[in-house]
Amino acid sequence: MQTARTTEQWRELDAAHHLHPFTDPHSLNQQGARVITRGEGIHLWDSEGHKIIDGMAGLWCVNIGYGRKDLPEVARRQMEDLAYYNTFFKTTHPAVVELSHLLSEVAPEGFRHIFYTNSGSESVDTMMRMVRHFWAVQGKPEKKVLIGRWNGYHGSTIGGASLGGMTYMHEQGDLPIPGIEHVEQPWWYKYGKDMTPEEFGLAAARWVEDKILEVGPERVAAFVGEPIQGAGGVIIPPSTYWPEVERICRKYDVLLVADEVICGFGRTGEWFGQQTMGFHPDIFTTAKGLSSGYLPIGAVFVGDRVANVLVAGGDFNHGFTYSGHPVAAAVAHANVKALRDEGIVDRVKNETGPYMQERWRATFGNFDHVDDVRGVGLIQGFTLVRNKATHELFPEWGTAGTMCRDIFFENNLIMRACGDHIVAAPPLVITKAEIDEMLGVAGRCLERFEKVVREKGMAG
Ligand SMILES: *Cc1c(COP(=O)(O)O)cnc(C)c1O
């Protein structure tokens, strides 16, 4: 929406009336929010005409890039035909049928059923109710504990925030709710450096087993994890972790759930992160890349084992007014079809993903305060450290990260700080030349960052 206001007016009205998510209103309003007005490909423009490289694809979601002309056309036609109808009472509509059919085609084998939501958080809450229902209809209502991980992110609703392991979120609103347990994250750099990554992967999986035994397998409904932790700072588990977690879940008959809200729809070079990390969940949750953020929609993919029980299990008393919303479904369908038919996911796997990983390591590998340079596909990170030789982190977790993130932002590059992890997840349509451009800017920002670290005497 382009209204005839100045940037100052937008900032003033924003400060007066808009409460931002995950934001301290006071400090934001002192600075004034940056007003973003337009997007095209991997670029955004602000109201002052700056062209910005969006290294985060919005919030890890604009997989197909900004400014597509076909998606608004699909939305316009669907709104004209049928702007809204529900799917609660023995009705359906072509948009949701076509999307479900297409999603069953791109999903890993054994995922034929989809439940729709409007967001990742709703997908997670839906999954939580679904796994408990799954056990209850089989006469095991006490099998209801969900195990998540510290520093995992599963959204901001009461269920999702409880299952997630962000303690600063638990501190507000009396979370977590009962029936949630957490185990430590498979972060080798912090917890496993005295082992090989492969040994550590098995050790971290054993934390899951220990927790299942502590709670009692007869009480554990599911283990839930992101294939790669996104908001936690792009924590990529060692290759041994997920297959071992899967073995453990099977051993104790605990459902295995992947939260694919970030990893899904091509981010890691495969359609889903479970394929990259080599495991087979019973259920997985999605949102973000499903519509590339063009409209809000989420989907829970239900594997055959769970679907068979649900189909035979009577009413599942759950759903949203906008579950399978026709316009969102039509846009998601066009988005997923384009990701597939234009070879965008394939390109991440075979071309731009490998190129990004090579350039990412070459760009950041030699800085004094950058370590654990990592990534796969088009999701990557590194950690800012006080002393690389001794693997010492900065004493105040997050300060260096914010400093670094702000330098990027001042230079019209968006990358994100998760504590002192710096992460990037650009639109999947990024070209090799654009990767060079993005990392050229990022490298110069890091030089500047290290200069500030030295000047402030933060170096170890
Ligand atoms: C973003 C995210 C969510 C929450 O999605 P919303 O659409 O913000 O509700 C859940 N899980 C993961 C892994 C996410 O990254």
Residues 284 and 159 in one domain: yes
Distance CA 212, CA 220 (A): 7
For tokens 């729709």, what's the residue? 116
Residues 191 and 306 in one domain: yes
Whether pLDDT at 49 is above 90? yes
Position 24 scores a pLDDT of: 94
Residues 150 and 77 in one domain: yes
- Of 323, 341, 359, the last residue of a domain is 341
Answer whether residue 27 is part of any domain: no
Q: Which residue has the least CA distance to atom 13 on ligand 1?
A: 261
Position 1 scores a pLDDT of: 62
Residues 190 and 132 in one domain: yes
Is the distance from the beta carbon of residue 161 to the nearest atom of ligand 1 less than 6 Å?
A: no
Nearest Cα residue to 423 out of 127, 69, 56, 172: 56
Mean pLDDT over each residue of the chain, to the nearest integer: 97
Residues 91 and 51 in one domain: no
Is the distance from the beta carbon of residue 120 to the nearest atom of ligand 1 less than 6 Å?
A: yes
pLDDT for 271-329, tens place per residue? Answer: 999 999 999 999 999 999 999 999 999 999 999 999 999 999 999 999 999 999 999 99
Domain housing 82: 70-341
Residues 172 and 248 in one domain: yes
pLDDT for 158-194, tens place per residue? Answer: 999 999 999 999 999 999 999 999 999 999 999 998 9
Q: What's the total number of domains in the chain?
A: 2
Residues 136 and 182 in one domain: yes
Residues 394 and 409 in one domain: yes
pLDDT for 425-450, tens place per residue? Answer: 999 999 999 999 999 999 999 999 99
Segment 353-368 shows an average pLDDT of 98
Whether pLDDT at 460 is above 80? no
* Full-model pTM: 0.98
Q: What pLDDT band is residue 4 in, cutting at 50, 70 and 90? A: confident
Whether pLDDT at 3 is above 80? no
Q: CB–CB of 436/442 below 8 Å?
A: no
Q: Give the side-chain half-sphere CA count within 13 A for 129.
A: 14
pLDDT for 217-244, tens place per residue? Answer: 999 999 999 999 999 999 999 999 999 9
Q: What pLDDT band is residue 459 in, cutting at 50, 70 and 90? A: confident
Is the distance from the beta carbon of residue 245 to the nearest atom of ligand 1 less than 6 Å?
A: no
Residues 192 and 331 in one domain: yes
- Of 293, 318, 341, the last residue of a domain is 341
Is the distance from the beta carbon of residue 121 to the nearest atom of ligand 1 less than 6 Å?
A: yes
Residues 242 and 311 in one domain: yes
pLDDT for 123-154, tens place per residue? Answer: 999 999 999 999 999 999 999 999 999 999 99
Residues 411 and 316 in one domain: no
From the alpha carbon of 155, which atom of ligand 1 is closest? Answer: 4
Mutate to test the pocket of ligand 1, among 156, 162, 288 (most ligand atoms within 8 A of CB): 288
Position 193 scores a pLDDT of: 87
Answer whether residue 14 is part of any domain: no
CB atoms within 10 A of CB 6: 11
Position 2 scores a pLDDT of: 62
Tokens of 74: 């699909």
**What CATH number is associated with residue 165?**
3.40.640.10
| For the chain, percent of residues with pLDDT exceeding 90 | 98
